[in-house]
Structure 1
Amino acid sequence: MNYLSVGDMALQFRLRQHNVSLKQEMSTLSKELMTGVHSDIGKALGGDMTALASINKQLRALQSYDTAVSEAATLTGSMQSSLEVIQALTGDVGVSLLSAATTTNSIIIDATAKDAAAKFQTLVATLNTNVAGRYIFSGAASDTRPLSSASDILLELQTLVASETTASGVMTAVDDWFAAAPGAGGFLDTAYAGSLTALGPVMTSDGETTDIPASAASPEIRQTLKGFALSTLISDGLFRSDLVEKASLARLSGETIVAAQTSLADLRADLGTSEALIEDAKARNTAETHSLELARLSMIGVDEFDTASALNALQTQLETLYTLTARMTDLSLVDYI
């Protein structure tokens, strides 16, 4: 019988080689156990990557939709909160102005108008809200502050009504200024710096978009601004010596603010519809992403039990190899003489 002997150096080399091989296999299996995915995906799929590429493409698209949906949810949520503040500002102001107008008491009218004037400043500041670097009521021009300051708007109106001698004349001039079309020198040209194009539509999923309707140029917002601006004119001294016209303008201001409350509620309802559509899209995208990730895992995932068993077996082999190597190292010719 023929025997093939292996020299000491060759044996040590083979032992080291086997040691490296076992460690590499253990590293691969450890990574697969932690990630749950085959280290060699091409081999796991038999070289056919078509289905996996399609799933990965869908997942990337859903990730971009998720980013857009998250941003839209933040914007609409901030808009809704701001509109809630604005609606709260209108609160009892309209009714208070109507009540003050019936008293024909200049002190009461002035005090009520002063309260409305203070809220006018808060109203303008709220419409200039900036969230994450974007002005939420500027329409598509979200990098631009939508409104001039309350004092600048008041200055425009003071110049506009300087020659008016009646409350109805003031009302007509202010109404025309807020309602003027672009290019006519009204509110949209001198006080509003945002875009007349709405923010959006936002692509929330494949083939589905959602509009974000509100801006400081919305008729509902302009009506609210107009009501408070009329009171601010009273507070600034318009018709100071004419109680009848002052009371009449307070009444017109109150009526405008009361009417604006209903308009604001309608605007908030429209915005709420957009919020609901965004939330629905977010839920659908999340469900679809989960489904695709499961499908992807079924294609390239590893069986955790089998992988753990293989890892244990390799560990046993490595320990055996270390034991054998130690014994080989301890061999001495003296032991056999």
Structure 2
Amino acid sequence: MKTSYVSNLAVQNAMRSTIQQGQLEVIKLQLEVTTGKFADAGAELGATSSRAVSLKNELARLENLKDTNAVVTQRLSASQMSLETMRKAAEQINTTLIATLGNDDASRLSIAKTDINGALQAFSAAANVQFNGEFLLSGINTDVMPLTEYTAGSPAKISFDDAFGAFKLANGITDDSEITAAQMTNFIGIVEGMYTGSQWTTDWSSASDQNIISRISANEVVPSTTNANSDGVRKFALAAVITTELLGLDLASDVRTVVNMSAQNYAQQASTGLIKESSTLGISESRVTKANTSLDGQIKLIQTHVNDIEGVDPYEASTRMNTLLTQIETSYTLTSRLQQLSLINFL
């Protein structure tokens, strides 16, 4: 019988190698128990991993749409608040005009002019509101303030003064009290053309007629802003200007009534136009909500498929990890005993 020489150092090294491999496997199993997925999906799935990658790419695209829709929702909400403020300003002008209809008292007219100036300032502030550094009512010109305020020296003020001066000169009018109701009706028609035509963009607006269009799903886009070139905005400015400039002049009662009634009509058109813009944005809000519901369903479905492909049984992984930890502890014990072996103990 022949015996072979076996070194206890060789046995220790073999045990050490087993422990190192076990520790790596424990780390892998701990990750799988925590995440519920393969620690290395590519190695486990092989060719099937390409399907998992495709599904994850689609999942990322859908989640990106959800993030974009959150911004769109905030933009729409801020735009709706601005339009609501502008609509209330139009209603304030209309209420003030109704209260002063047929009233020629200078102090009452002065108070009315102050109220209307306040409404115009609130309207301009709402029209020029910003969201995330972008002007909401500028259309696609988001870096440009959409509406120029009506003040002394502003283009709109200069244009009105020039038009009124030319009107009086053409009609031989030297005093405001000489203006007739028919002449005032004609002049208001001239001013209306300045606000409904191309001069609007020269005197008042720097906004684009093209609104921002946002993609809310794979095959659906919606307008997510409005702009200061809409009919409601133009008619509000027209109502405010003719009231501010003409109502307090030394006019005959019937002429002042023409100014008042015309301004009321424009204020009412402004309110209607702003409600229409708000309704358009409301439709966009509804479509975004429905798109998000659809996206949530798609994300849930795809996530389920990914989990089916990459998922592991956490209970099985936990059992394997506990078994492996027991084996490692046993290896530590054996290694410790081998290290204590010495020939001296047998001499």
TM-score, normalization by structure 2: 0.86
Partner of 1:106: 106
Matches within 5 A, 1:81-160: 81-151=81-151, 152=154, 153-160=156-163
- Once the two structures are TM-superposed, the CA of residue 156 in structure 1 deviates from its matched residue by 3.6
Q: CA deviation at 1:11?
A: 1.9
In the alignment, the residues of structure 2 paired with residue 144 and residue 132 of structure 1 have an alpha-carbon distance, to the nearest angstrom, of: 13
Match of 2:194 among 164, 169, 177: 177
Equivalent residue for 2:172? none
Which residue matches 2:249?
240
Contact kept? 1:97, 1:254, Cα under 8 Å: yes
- Matched AA of 1:141: N
**Structure 2 residue aligned with 1:192:** 205
Find the aligned partners of 1:3 and 1:255 in 2 and give their Cα distance: 117
For the residue of structure 2 that corresponds to 1:48, the secondary structure is helix
What percent of counterpart residues are identical?
20
Tell me, in whole angstroms, the C-alpha distance in 1 between the residues paired with 2:3 and 2:202: 102
Distance 1:4 1:21, change over 3 A: farther
Q: Which amino acid aligns with 2:250?
A: S
> Residue 279 of structure 2 aligns with which residue?
269
**Cα distance in 2 between the residues matched to 1:18 and 1:196:** 73
**Equivalent residue, structure 2, for 1:56:** 56
Distance change >3 Å, CA 180–CA 320, structure 1 → 2: same
**Aligned equivalents of 2:89, 2:42: Cα separation in 1:** 63
Mean CA deviation greater in 152-161 or 264-273: 152-161
The answer to whether structure 1 residue 209 and structure 2 residue 221 are counterparts is yes
What is the CA-CA distance between 1:331 and the residue it aligns to?
3.1
Unaligned 5+ residue runs, structure 2? 169-178
Matched position secondary structure for 1:272: helix
- Give the match for residue 19 of structure 1: 19
Q: Output the amino acid matched with 1:289.
A: I
Alignment check: 8 A CA contact 2:93 2:240 kept: no
Q: 2:177 aligned with 1:168, yes or no? A: no
Q: How does 1:3-18 map to 2 (within 5 A)?
A: 5-18=5-18
C-alpha separation between the residues in 2 aligned to 1:323 and 1:161? Answer: 105
Letter in 2 for 1:320: T
Structure 1: where are the runs of 5+ without partners?
none
Deviations 1:216-246 (A, max 9, x none): 1111221122222223324xxx753335344
SS in 2 for 1:203: strand
Amino acid at match of 1:77: S
Q: Partner residue of 2:300? A: 290
Q: Is the 8 A contact 2:137 2:225 kept in 1?
A: no
Give the 3 Å change call, closer, same or farther, for CA 12–265 of structure 1 in structure 2.
same
1:179 Cα deviation after fit: 0.5
Task: State the one-letter code of the partner of 2:162.
Answer: T
Counterparts in 2 of 1:160 and 1:67: CA distance versus 1, 3 Å? farther
| 8 Å Cα contact 1:154/1:233 also seen in 2 | no
- What is aligned with 2:316? 306
2: CA distance between counterparts of 1:137 and 1:247? 33
Query: CA distance change for structure 1 residues 225 and 332 in 2, over 3 Å: closer, same or farther?
Result: same
- Residues 236-283 of structure 1 show CA distances to partners (whole Å, capped at 9, x for unaligned) of xx7533353445323322232133222222221121111100111111
1:221 aligns with 2:230: no
Aligned residues: 329
Moved over 4 A (4+): 1-5
- 1:318 corresponds to: 328
Q: 1:28, 1:39 within 8 Å by CA — same for their partners in 2? A: yes
CA contact (8 A) 2:135 2:146 kept: yes
For 1:161, give the aligned amino acid: F
Single out whichever of 58-67 and 189-198 deviates more from structure 2.
58-67
SS in 2 for 1:102: coil
Q: Return the alpha-carbon distance in structure 1 between the equivalents of residues 159 and 74 of structure 2.
A: 34
SS in 1 for 2:262: helix
Contact 1:97–1:113 under 8 Å retained in 2: no
The change in CA–CA distance for 1:2 and 1:277 in structure 2 (over 3 A counts) is farther
* Distance in structure 2 (CA, Å) of the matches to 1:177 and 1:79: 26
**Does the C-alpha gap of structure 1 residues 279 and 154 become closer, same or farther in structure 2, counting only changes over 3 Å?**
farther
Is the CA contact (8 Å cut-off) linking 2:113 and 2:248 kept in structure 1? no
In structure 2, what residue type is equivalent to 1:154?
K
